[in-house]
A and B are shown apart, each in its own frame.
Chain A
Amino acid sequence: MSLNVVIVGAGPAGLAAAWSASQSNANITLIDQAAQAGGQIWRGGQGYAPKRYRHLFGQQTTLHYRKQTHVLGASEQQLYLATPQGPQQLRYDRLILANGARELFLPFPGWTLPKVVGVGGLQALVKGSLPIAGKRVVIAGSGPLLIAVASQLKQRGAIIKAVVEQVPIAQLLRFGRSLVGNPTKMLQAAQFAQALANTPFYVNTWITAAEGEGEVQQVQLNNGQRIECDYLACSWGLIANTELAQQLGCRLEQNFVVVDRSQHTSRDQVYAVGELTGIGGEDKAVIEGQIAGFVATGNYQAASQLAQQQAQARQFSQQLAASFALRPELRQLAQANTIVCRCEDVTLAQLQSQPSWRSAKLQTRCGMGICQGRVCGGATQYLFGWSQDSVRFPIHSVSVADLVMESV
């Protein structure tokens, strides 16, 4: 019988893993909750991927691609799925986790106003059908995503009132210099710079409040400046979707899954790739995905040829993390009455008296609502240093009927 390799996530990392695993005669299943492969960055499909990566979408004959399928939980050798045909279990011999990342949100006064959105969220809305032409947008927070999305929005006719980056200029320049020797990233940076010529770009600056009647109308910066806008898009970085890895007991360090050079986690037969192991974007995702796909199917030779690129990608990821580390002042933005948990309306003051995340959950319901701590968990970790105590089944909310498995 051939080996069952199951890959969770059809973003760049998962697609690359599927592609390289398909070079063997293993039985490969690629699962994604979305209707289309591509993940965060290539959402919308093949056409959104750079030419050098389009082959990853190729229809390999041995591949079972399961779209609109949520992986709800995992145990040794078994995944629990919610599929369009109802709940199912799936056995695996090798599991490659490529769950990607989501945006980190930090609370500040006014962050719950309508039209205060995540930078990635706004990007997705605009890729959808949100008309942005002529709209005044402030983009604030930290990281390369600010500039990338600002330039995309500008191309679609948005008026970018300001890009507000919390990092000091010297640190930013150091990051820029570190890109020397990385031609794709240099080129990208140059394109963004050109696209954003004449756009006000503030460094060493951050949002202190969003204000408005019924929706955001202006933002306040720490330098005292006020800027009027129709949208405020924030991004404070990304956090990895480690829930499945945690359920399986994979070791985490600083909220990323720990892997060795084969992308192998601390659990037997379980691999992790892409944003899960450290935020590094599409190139890192593709390299790591390919390595895991090869290693999981026994093709060590092919994997070892990618070692140098892997090292470079990881180095970039570390530089990214160090360069855009959040400054401590951002912990002071939320006021006593600022909502931290949006699902259950829990304020900062209610949380300040709690000794731990668990106690906060039990006493204030923080993290117990619809998002299950996906949003406020990242924020409270940053604000209080609390770590999540457990990851519960199901990872995504589903209907009761979707949890009723046929007996096996």
Chain B
Amino acid sequence: MSSVIIVGGGIVGCAVALELTQAGWQVTLIERDCLGSGATAAGMGHIVVMDEGEAQLKLTLFGQQLWQALTADHPQPHEYHACGTLWVATDTEEWDLVAEKAAVYQQYQIACEILDAAALYAHEPALREGLVGGLLVPNDSVVYPPKSAVYLWQQAEKHGATLVYGEVTTIQTNYVQLNDGRQLSADAIVVANGQRCIDLLPELPIRAKRGQLVITERYPALIKHQLVELSYIKNAHASSGDSVAFNLQPRPNGQLLIGSSRQFDRTDRQIDQLLLSQMLRKAIDYVPALADVRCLRTWTGVRAASPDGLPLIGQHPERAGLWLNVGHEGLGITTALSSARLLADQMLQRQSQLEIQPYLPRSLQQEQPQ
């Protein structure tokens, strides 16, 4: 039986732990804080098929299918909520994007429905006047990521996986060093510690992309779907500078989660007031009733961004026995299960459901961030 150490108990590390224990590996998961910490504790948990390129679409779609299977019998531990996504078009330019997006989804048999303005307001009356329409994607959903991480871990634990609390400070061939002096060894090591992977492997082409979110008190009737602006990808994926994009999520308990923002190379927890103001101004612009909604708190989270927006799933290009599952940017909840499956396929030399090439850790020199 092969043994493996997984560094990081976020959603990705927990998903990998489950995949490998199920395959009969002896798994040790190492976590510095608590399970489901890191970006997993900070994110929105939107399980969304995203169509910024074919590789991303396939990985998120596969991820969504695995999430549906995982939650089908037990939605409760994940606070699973099949709210769907409603992409909102504000003008004719965005209205053109609706048709384009719908065409892509249809090509992959992803259910979607084009809404004209009247249909849009019938679905979401709280949206401001003057919008032109939208695209409803009913199979997108929402989970509560820290609980899902623990759920995945508990399944792994039933199969015999072990949890060790401690911070990995260095990774050697076949062993890791913890900050308290302990050394743990295994046949293989998986790095799944999110953005902090660059503390351990500075050669990785990963950059921090910080986000800020706001959670409100309970307003169960305000909106029904996760609302996202159609220019989301354009706004969210600028390659430099600070940006905000409208993204509003109804939590199953009636709370609202307001996003989103992106800032490169910041990992501190101090709220950027100006960016927060921009983000909230935009949210109020889309849903005017938000102005009077009461906010409970704000927080920050750090995404691990790769140069091409795709995660790195596979063996380290220069170190045998060292495996990576990092760089999930703003989609790591959606892609946790699919990426864990693809990684396990490689470690077990199994056939994969997806062509693995686009996700393999790329040659490090070429891909250094600018």
Contact = CB atoms under 8 A, between A and B. Distances in A.
B33 interface: yes
A127 interface: no
24 contacts: A80-B273, A89-B273, A356-B34, A358-B33, A358-B37, A370-B296, A372-B296, A372-B297, A392-B298, A393-B298, A397-B294, A397-B295, A397-B296, A399-B291, A400-B214, A400-B258, A400-B283, A400-B290, A400-B293, A401-B291, A402-B295, A403-B277, A407-B274, A408-B274
A92 to B, nearest CB: 15
Nearest to B290: A400
Interface of A: 73, 75, 80, 89, 355-356, 358-359, 362-363, 368-370, 372, 390, 392-394, 397-405, 407-408
Given A362-B37, A399-B291, A403-B276, 12 more contacts: A356-B33, A362-B41, A363-B147, A369-B296, A392-B298, A394-B297, A397-B296, A400-B280, A403-B214, A403-B280, A403-B295, A405-B273
A399 B293 contact: yes
A390 B217 CA distance: 20
B35 A359 contact: yes
Contacts of A358: 33-34, 37, 41
A363 B277 contact: no
Given A362-B36, A403-B214, A408-B274, A394 B284 contact: no
Contact of A404 (B34, B146, B277, B297): B277
Which 5 pairs between the two chains have the least Cβ-Cβ distance?
A: A359-B34, A362-B146, A401-B291, A392-B297, A393-B271
A401 B291 CA distance: 5
Interface string B272-314: 0110110011011000001111111111000000000000000
B216 interface: yes
B193 to A, nearest CB: 17
A133 B79 CA distance: 48
B281 to A, nearest CB: 5
B352 to A, nearest CB: 32
A370 B254 CA distance: 13
Q: Is the interface of B mostly helix, strand, loop or mixed?
A: mixed
A404 B281 contact: yes
B150 A399 contact: no
Contact of B271 (A73, A362, A372, A402): A73
Contacts of B146: 362-363
A135 to B, nearest CB: 32
B269 interface: yes
A405 B276 CA distance: 9
Contacts of B150: 363
A401 B296 contact: no
Contact of A405 (B36, B41, B277, B295): B277
Nearest to B147: A363
Contact of B217 (A89, A393, A397, A401): A397
Residue with the highest number of chain B CB atoms closer than 10 Å, among A363, A369, A403: A403
Contacts of B283: 400
